[in-house]
């Protein structure tokens, strides 16, 4: 067995032991096939007011420009699927990925440990680790390494366990045996497109962020959400899981085993009136170390008032 293969297998074994569900490896090179689609997406303003998506264009496409000396990209998937749900359908809803502790902290800790173990067992390896923290086309690298395919909802779908995963990367300065991509298994299915209440999925693997509920409730920082979307949010106050919940491949999803993702009792059991009456002290307590803190209290209240306008208080 060559060193390329031996080192690749060892890295994967260490990652699995730390709780990562799937690991794939790609050669660090320019993402030629993604350049045109990214250019078109940006030129048509499908990124909305996420101006950062237009920054560092070249670095998004070439890992060696982001981290000099990178020879291999290791893509990893960390499961966050939860069987538990909030109350009934009348309750303002939070996306499953934000039920527990902020994934940036949890997965980054795992990556740092993995990087240390690689240096202990393989030798001196330089590089950087990322969890949604740099200009990286995460789904493109995961696809390239065979972890899944890009679904019609633009999510990375794994054939074994669906799409409820956080993606992470390691840019390493050592050559590793690369994996290859797999075929697309969406077929003629259009469930995600049909189910999106705001018609945000506008083409083959193209999402217009301006219409996406996740964008409207998290990324959009305006004082108000456009009235165009009144009665279309289906009670989502932070993120949205609709296009994933209806995906047939997610029938294979398995409950995550990460203790730090365990949702707080109050989060799952607050009733509609308690959410509507939410104050800042409760917000800080309920969402301590949570990804929901991204919206800040003011942003979450904006979202709740928008989806529950008849309850809005002066």
Q: Where are the domains of the chain?
A: 1-314
pLDDT at 313 over 70: no
Q: Look at residue 217 in the predicted model and tell me its pLDDT.
A: 98
Chain CA centroid to CA 165, Å: 7
With a cut of 80, say whether residue 268 has pLDDT above it. yes
Q: How far apart are CA 288 and CA 301, in angstroms?
A: 16
Buried b (16+ CB within 10 A) or exposed e, 7-32: bbeebbebbeebebbbbbbbbbeebe
Give the single-character DSSP code of 162: B
User: Alpha-carbon distance 197 to 14, whole Å?
Assistant: 41
Scan for tokens 């030798």, then name that residue: 123
Q: What is the DSSP letter of 218?
A: I
Question: What confidence tier does 133 reach under pLDDT thresholds 50, 70, 90?
Answer: confident
pLDDT tens, residue by residue, 139-187: 999 999 999 999 999 999 999 999 999 999 999 999 999 999 999 999 9
* pLDDT tens sequence across 4-62: 999 999 999 999 999 999 999 999 999 999 999 999 999 999 999 999 999 999 999 99
Q: In terms of C-beta density within 10 A (0-12 exposed, 13-18 middle, 19 or more buried), how is residue 120 classed? A: exposed
**Structure tokens, 304:** 């709740």
Which has more pLDDT, 114 or 313? 114
CA distances from 310 to 10, 108, 113, 293 (A): 57, 41, 49, 25
pLDDT, tens digit (0-9, with 9 covering 90-100), for 184-207: 999 999 999 999 999 999 988 999
Q: Identify the pLDDT of residue 87.
A: 85
Mean pLDDT of 106-119: 97
DSSP line for 126-147: -EEEESS-SS--HHHHHHHTTS
CB atoms under 10 Å from CB of 100, counted, come to 22
pLDDT for 314: 45
What is the structure's pLDDT at 1? 66
Q: How crowded is the C-beta side of 59, counted as CA atoms within 13 Å?
A: 13
Q: What is the mean pLDDT of the chain?
A: 95
Return the percentage of the chain with pLDDT > 90, whole number.
Answer: 94
Residue-wise pLDDT tens digits, 279-308 = 999 999 999 999 999 999 999 999 999 998
Which token pair is 312? 């809005």
Residues 12, 77: Cα–Cα separation, whole Å: 11
Active-site residue numbers?
132
Our CA angle for 271, 218, 157, nearest 5°, is 95
pLDDT at 312: 53
Dihedral sign, Cα of residue 14, residue 84, residue 212, residue 153: positive
pLDDT of res. 131: 96
């Amino acid at each position: 067995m060559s060193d390329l293969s031996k080192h690749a297998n060892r890295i994967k074994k260490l990652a699995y032991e730390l709780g990562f569900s799937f690991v794939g490896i790609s050669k660090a090179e320019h993402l030629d096939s993604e350049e045109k689609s990214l250019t078109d997406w940006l030129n048509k303003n499908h990124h909305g007011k996420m101006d950062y998506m237009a920054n560092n264009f070249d670095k998004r496409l070439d890992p060696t420009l982001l981290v000099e000396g990178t020879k291999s990209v290791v893509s990893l998937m960390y499961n966050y699927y939860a069987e538990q749900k909030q109350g009934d359908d009348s309750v303002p809803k939070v996306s499953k990925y934000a039920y527990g502790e902020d994934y940036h902290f949890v997965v980054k800790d795992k990556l740092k440990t993995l990087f240390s173990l690689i240096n202990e067992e393989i030798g001196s390896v330089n590089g950087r680790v990322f969890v949604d923290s740099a200009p990286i086309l995460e789904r493109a690298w995961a696809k390239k390494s065979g972890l899944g395919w890009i679904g019609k909802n633009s999510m990375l779908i794994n054939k074994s366990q669906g799409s409820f995963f956080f993606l992470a990367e390691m840019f390493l300065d050592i050559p590793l045996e690369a994996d290859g991509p797999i075929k697309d298994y969406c077929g003629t299915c259009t469930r995600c497109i049909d189910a999106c209440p705001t018609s945000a999925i506008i083409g083959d693997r193209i999402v217009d962020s301006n219409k996406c509920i996740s964008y409207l409730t998290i990324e959009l920082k305006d004082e108000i959400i456009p009235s165009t979307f009144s009665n279309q949010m289906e009670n989502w106050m932070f993120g949205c899981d609709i296009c994933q919940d209806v995906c047939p491949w997610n029938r294979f999803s398995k409950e995550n085993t990460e203790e730090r993702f365990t949702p707080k009792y109050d989060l799952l059991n607050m009733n509609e009136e308690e959410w509507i009456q939410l104050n800042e002290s409760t917000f800080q307590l309920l969402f301590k170390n949570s990804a929901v803190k991204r919206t800040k209290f003011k942003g979450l209240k904006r979202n709740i008032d928008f989806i529950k306008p008849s309850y809005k208080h002066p």
